[in-house]
Structure 1
Amino acid sequence: MTTTITVEGMSCGHCEQTVEEALAGVAGVTGASADRESAQATVEGDADVSALLAAVEDAGYTAQA
Protein backbone atom coordinates (compact mmCIF):
# COMPACT_ATOMS: atom_id res chain seq x y z
CA MET A 1 0.00 0.00 0.00
CA THR A 2 1.21 3.52 -0.79
CA THR A 3 0.38 6.45 1.48
CA THR A 4 1.10 10.09 0.66
CA ILE A 5 1.21 12.68 3.40
CA THR A 6 1.78 16.43 3.31
CA VAL A 7 4.87 17.60 5.19
CA GLU A 8 5.43 21.28 5.85
CA GLY A 9 8.75 22.77 6.90
CA MET A 10 11.22 20.90 4.69
CA SER A 11 13.66 23.39 3.18
CA CYS A 12 16.70 21.34 2.12
CA GLY A 13 17.98 17.89 1.29
CA HIS A 14 18.85 17.24 4.92
CA CYS A 15 15.23 17.93 5.84
CA GLU A 16 14.09 15.35 3.29
CA GLN A 17 16.53 12.82 4.71
CA THR A 18 15.35 13.50 8.27
CA VAL A 19 11.72 12.93 7.28
CA GLU A 20 12.59 9.76 5.35
CA GLU A 21 14.51 8.36 8.32
CA ALA A 22 11.68 9.21 10.71
CA LEU A 23 9.17 7.45 8.47
CA ALA A 24 11.45 4.44 7.95
CA GLY A 25 11.49 3.93 11.72
CA VAL A 26 7.73 3.34 11.86
CA ALA A 27 6.63 -0.29 12.10
CA GLY A 28 5.26 -1.56 8.79
CA VAL A 29 7.14 0.89 6.56
CA THR A 30 9.05 -0.79 3.74
CA GLY A 31 10.12 2.40 1.96
CA ALA A 32 9.82 6.15 2.27
CA SER A 33 10.70 9.17 0.16
CA ALA A 34 10.24 12.87 0.83
CA ASP A 35 10.18 15.79 -1.61
CA ARG A 36 10.52 19.31 -0.26
CA GLU A 37 9.36 20.95 -3.50
CA SER A 38 5.99 19.20 -3.45
CA ALA A 39 5.89 19.20 0.38
CA GLN A 40 4.96 15.53 0.33
CA ALA A 41 6.26 12.22 1.55
CA THR A 42 5.35 8.88 0.02
CA VAL A 43 5.42 5.78 2.18
CA GLU A 44 5.27 2.13 1.12
CA GLY A 45 3.99 -0.51 3.50
CA ASP A 46 1.10 -1.07 5.86
CA ALA A 47 1.95 1.41 8.64
CA ASP A 48 -0.82 3.22 10.48
CA VAL A 49 -1.27 6.77 9.14
CA SER A 50 -1.44 8.27 12.63
CA ALA A 51 1.93 6.67 13.43
CA LEU A 52 3.41 8.19 10.27
CA LEU A 53 2.12 11.65 11.14
CA ALA A 54 3.42 11.33 14.71
CA ALA A 55 6.89 10.29 13.48
CA VAL A 56 7.13 13.31 11.17
CA GLU A 57 5.93 15.67 13.88
CA ASP A 58 8.40 14.17 16.37
CA ALA A 59 11.13 14.98 13.82
CA GLY A 60 10.11 18.63 13.93
CA TYR A 61 7.85 19.02 10.91
CA THR A 62 4.13 19.55 10.41
CA ALA A 63 2.30 16.63 8.79
CA GLN A 64 -1.21 15.87 7.65
CA ALA A 65 -2.85 13.07 5.71
Structure 2
Amino acid sequence: MTKKTFTVPNISCGHCTHAIETELGELAGVQSVKAEQETKQVTVAWDDPASWEKIQALLQEINYPPEGLIQIS
Protein backbone atom coordinates (compact mmCIF):
# COMPACT_ATOMS: atom_id res chain seq x y z
CA MET A 1 0.00 0.00 0.00
CA THR A 2 1.18 3.51 -0.81
CA LYS A 3 0.27 6.50 1.36
CA LYS A 4 0.75 10.22 0.70
CA THR A 5 -0.08 13.38 2.61
CA PHE A 6 -0.33 16.62 0.65
CA THR A 7 -1.80 20.12 0.77
CA VAL A 8 -4.90 21.18 -1.16
CA PRO A 9 -5.12 25.01 -0.92
CA ASN A 10 -8.72 25.06 -2.27
CA ILE A 11 -10.12 23.43 0.89
CA SER A 12 -12.22 26.07 2.62
CA CYS A 13 -15.14 24.25 4.26
CA GLY A 14 -16.65 20.93 5.28
CA HIS A 15 -18.19 20.51 1.84
CA CYS A 16 -14.70 20.62 0.31
CA THR A 17 -13.39 17.86 2.56
CA HIS A 18 -16.52 15.76 1.97
CA ALA A 19 -16.22 16.14 -1.82
CA ILE A 20 -12.54 15.10 -1.76
CA GLU A 21 -13.17 12.13 0.52
CA THR A 22 -16.20 10.97 -1.50
CA GLU A 23 -14.65 11.35 -4.96
CA LEU A 24 -11.28 9.81 -4.09
CA GLY A 25 -12.98 7.09 -2.05
CA GLU A 26 -14.80 5.92 -5.20
CA LEU A 27 -11.55 5.52 -7.15
CA ALA A 28 -10.71 1.82 -7.59
CA GLY A 29 -7.84 0.83 -5.31
CA VAL A 30 -8.13 3.73 -2.86
CA GLN A 31 -8.19 2.28 0.68
CA SER A 32 -8.64 5.44 2.77
CA VAL A 33 -8.96 9.21 2.41
CA LYS A 34 -8.83 11.82 5.17
CA ALA A 35 -9.19 15.51 4.33
CA GLU A 36 -8.77 18.16 7.05
CA GLN A 37 -10.33 21.59 6.72
CA GLU A 38 -8.13 23.28 9.35
CA THR A 39 -4.77 22.21 7.89
CA LYS A 40 -5.90 21.87 4.24
CA GLN A 41 -4.11 18.51 4.23
CA VAL A 42 -5.27 15.29 2.62
CA THR A 43 -3.91 11.81 3.33
CA VAL A 44 -4.66 9.06 0.82
CA ALA A 45 -3.72 5.36 1.00
CA TRP A 46 -4.08 3.13 -2.05
CA ASP A 47 -3.16 -0.08 -3.83
CA ASP A 48 -3.35 -1.00 -7.52
CA PRO A 49 -5.15 -0.17 -9.75
CA ALA A 50 -5.05 3.33 -8.22
CA SER A 51 -1.93 5.44 -8.76
CA TRP A 52 -0.66 8.86 -7.70
CA GLU A 53 -1.20 10.03 -11.31
CA LYS A 54 -4.86 8.94 -11.24
CA ILE A 55 -5.39 10.57 -7.84
CA GLN A 56 -3.83 13.85 -9.03
CA ALA A 57 -5.91 13.79 -12.22
CA LEU A 58 -9.14 13.26 -10.28
CA LEU A 59 -8.31 16.07 -7.84
CA GLN A 60 -7.61 18.41 -10.78
CA GLU A 61 -10.91 17.38 -12.39
CA ILE A 62 -12.96 18.21 -9.28
CA ASN A 63 -11.06 21.51 -8.80
CA TYR A 64 -9.01 20.52 -5.74
CA PRO A 65 -5.52 20.26 -7.23
CA PRO A 66 -2.84 19.00 -4.84
CA GLU A 67 0.05 21.34 -4.11
CA GLY A 68 2.75 20.54 -1.59
CA LEU A 69 3.64 16.90 -1.04
CA ILE A 70 4.26 16.52 2.67
CA GLN A 71 4.89 12.84 3.26
CA ILE A 72 5.25 9.69 1.19
CA SER A 73 5.22 6.25 2.75
How does the TM-score come out when normalised to structure 2?
0.75
Shift of 1:5: 2.5
User: Paired residue for 1:56?
Assistant: 59
Q: Secondary structure at the match of 2:28?
A: coil
Partner Cα distance (2:39, 2:11) in 1: 10
Shift of 1:50: 1.0
Structure 2 unaligned blocks of 5 or more: none
CA RMSD, 1 decimal: 1.4
- The structure that has the greater radius of gyration is 2
Structure 1 unaligned blocks of 5 or more: none
User: Paired residue for 1:24?
Assistant: 25
Q: Secondary structure at the match of 1:17?
A: helix
Deviations 1:3-58 (A, max 9, x none): 22221201000100001112112221011110122221111222310111111111
- Between the two proteins, the alignment pairs up a number of residues equal to 65
Partner Cα distance (1:23, 1:39) in 2: 16
